[in-house]
Amino acid sequence: MNSTHSYAPDAGPSRSFRLAVTGGGTGGHTYPALTAIRTLQDRLAAAGRTLDVLWIGTEEGLEARVAPAEGIPFTSVATGKIRRSSNPLKMVSPANVKDMARVPLGVAQARKAIAEFTPDVVLATGGYVAVPAGLAARLCRRPLVLHEQTVRLGLANRKLASSATRIAVSSESTLPLLPDAVRDLAVVTGNPVRPQVLAGQADKAVEALGLHGFDRRLPTVYVTGGAQGSQQINEVVRDLLPWLLEHANVVHQCGTANVDVLREHSARLPVGLAARYYLTGFVGPELPDVLALADVVLSRSGAGTLAELTALGKAAVFIPLATSAGNEQAHNARHLHEAGAAVALLGEVSARTLRDAVGPLLMEPARRASIAQQARAHGKPDAADRLVDVILSAASG
């Protein structure tokens, strides 16, 4: 879909556009919604209009903190989490039965909220809370736009697909996986990426983090296991560190709980190598600059990470989280690996398998550039604008 991002609904300049948002639990569902809200707000402001938002979530989800912090009105509803199992009999567990009994209550609460708010569109970005609010949108006859971050539709979006007005997906490879009955509703938008992620500057990272011992003639590797860090990634990088630092500078975001033990280990590095190693528990506002500095990223393969790295055109080595819902991280990583747009470590991961994966990217600039170019071909830096187009077209029928 080639989007010019100029569309605005015919509702007169004075009336505000009303958007109900549902989705959350994790950052993967919450932050795309927030980015879409901000992008829609900017689009409407350019047309002299305002945006009213109501976020429908759960009290326990990340959205309950993010929405109020961003000044977005928030209401919570009951919802039920499905604990998955490959054994159908285990699905009928007491915990699942108890949680499913909460869904009708959540639908009733969401229906009341939507009936009172009268949104032009309901945007659902996935997570368990999206189910009651999405069903309530159908009951209130409000247009429902689903957004799916991963290659395969998540459980919540599968439940809501037949109620949707439009289904925005992040990848072309999702289209053949959709049920025939809803495939015509699908639009490939990509997964919204926060604009600041795309505006990083490498030299700012050097200044902010004091990376003056880095050898800028060598490639820089950014290692991250997400906000809490990853024990698996930390251990395999620790075991490979002396070799890695012979060939690269390394920024290692390890999670605050893991800093001390890794610092103790890195204290034994030779001085020349230690100067090229920056260890930190958490990378905050300087993340866009760190990503700009990085030539290779070693990370998990969640949907948000993929969206950012492909939009930036970064060569990446992915170690998927084995316990991700529906094994989605492995699907995400395999999809890019097969397209030559990343390297995925899908089996047993050791220092040796990591060295074999990352070595060619560090030693062969042409190989690294080719993977980065393929990654960029899969990226959709304008995904938020594309999703706003879908929201506005759903509102206008």
Name residue, tokens 């550039």: 369
What DSSP letter does each residue of 192-246 carry, written as one string? ---GGGGG--HHHHHHHHT-TT--TTS-EEEEE--TT--HHHHHHHHHHHHHHHH
Paired strand residues for 169: 148, 188
Listed in order, the ranges of the chain carrying CATH 3.40.50.2000 are 17-192+381-395, 196-378
How far, in Å, CA of 74 to CA of 355, rounded? 47
Higher local confidence (pLDDT), 94 or 221 = 221
Fold of 196-378: Rossmann fold (3.40.50)
Give me the pLDDT at residue 11, please: 46
In the structure, what pLDDT confidence band is assigned to residue 269 with cuts at 50, 70 and 90? very high
| Closest among 44, 35, 55, 37 to 6, alpha carbons compared | 44
Residue 387 and residue 367: Cα distance in Å, rounded? Answer: 33
Distance CA 43, CA 34 (A): 14
- pLDDT score, position 26: 86
Reported as a single tens digit per residue, the pLDDT across 114-125 is 999 999 999 999
Percent of the chain beyond pLDDT 90?
81
Does the pLDDT at position 227 exceed 80?
no
- From the list 205, 209, 222, the residue with the least C-alpha distance to 317 is 222
Q: How confident is the model at residue 372 (pLDDT cuts 50, 70, 90)?
A: very high
Question: pLDDT digits over 12-56, tens only?
Answer: 555 899 999 999 988 889 999 999 999 999 999 999 999 999 999
Kindly indicate the confidence band of residue 153, based on its pLDDT and cuts at 50, 70 and 90: confident
- Other CB atoms closer than 10 Å to residue 237's CB: what's the count? 23
Average pLDDT over residues 183-192: 97
> Which whole number is the average pLDDT over 132-149?
97
- The pLDDT tens digits of the residues spanning 333-367 come to 998 999 999 999 998 899 999 999 999 999 999 99
pLDDT in tens, 275-308: 999 999 999 999 999 999 999 999 999 999 999 9
pLDDT: which is higher, 290 or 225: 290
The pLDDT of residue 243 is above 50: yes
Alpha-carbon distance 307 to 22, whole Å? 20
Between 3.40.50.2300, 3.90.550.10, 3.40.50.2000, 1.10.10.10, what CATH number should domain 17-192+381-395 receive?
3.40.50.2000
Name the residue among 103, 106, 122 with its Cα closest to residue 114. Answer: 122
Residue 8 has pLDDT above 50, yes or no: no
Does 324 have pLDDT greater than 90? Answer: no
Number of CB atoms found within 10 A of residue 89's CB:
7
pLDDT at 15: 80
Report the alpha-carbon distance of residue 164 to residue 162 in Å, rounded.
6
